[in-house]
Amino acid sequence: MGQEINTNIVELDALVEEVLLASRLEGGAQSLRLEPVDLLAIAAESAALGDAELEIEEGIERLPLNGDDRLLRRALRNLLENARRYGGPVVELKVRRAGQDRVELQVCDRGPGVPEPMRERIFEAFFRLPGHAEVSGGVGLGLSLVKQIATAHQGTVRCDAREGGGSCFVITLPLT
C-alpha cells in the first residue's frame, strides 16, 4: 500500500510539473536560458538514459547551437519515453544535419505508428490516440511540450511514418 501511494505521488508530481511547464511556455513566461549547448552530449546522455541506440551522421563533430539545455533534454526525454512506451524494444536517436544551418534529432521506433490524419493532432495538449489512454497512462502533454520547446527554439517537430513500420519524431533546430 505504501509503495502504491509513493508511486501515485511521483506520478502526480510529474503531472503538475508538466502542466506548469506547458502553461509557462504557452504564456511566454518561460524565459529561455539561451546559451551555447553541446547538442551531441545532450543526445548521447539522453540516449543512454532512455536506453536508445545513438546514431550520429558521419562527419558531425560539433553542432553550434544556442538553446536551453534543460528544455532540450526534456524534449528528448519525452520523445524517448513515448518511443519506449509505444514503440517496442528498439528505439533509435539519430542526429543529422538538415542543410547547412539546421540539425535534426530523430527518435524512431517500431511501434504501431501514428495514422496519417492524426500526425498533427498528437502535438495538441491533452490529445491521445484512441485506445492509448487505457493502456499506457499519461495525460497527453508530452508531445505538446516537445512542440512548445521546439517552437521556443525557432524549430519544428513532426511525426513521420517509418519505413518498415513505426514512427520517427523529428525535431529540427537552427544552428548558430
The rounded distance, in Å, linking the Cα atoms of 173 and 152 is 10
pLDDT over 60 (residue 173): yes
Angle between helices 69-86 and 39-49 (to 10 degrees): 30
| pLDDT tens digits, 156-172 | 999 999 999 999 999 99
How many Cβ atoms are within 10 Å of 160's Cβ, its own excluded? 15
Q: Which domains does the chain have, with CATH numbers?
A: 33-174 (3.30.565.10)
The pLDDT value given to residue 57: 96
State pTM to two decimals: 0.83
The pLDDT value given to residue 14: 56
The rounded distance, in Å, linking the Cα atoms of 32 and 133 is 31
Instruction: Provide DSSP, 157-168.
Output: EEEEEPTTSSEE
The rounded distance, in Å, linking the Cα atoms of 75 and 135 is 22
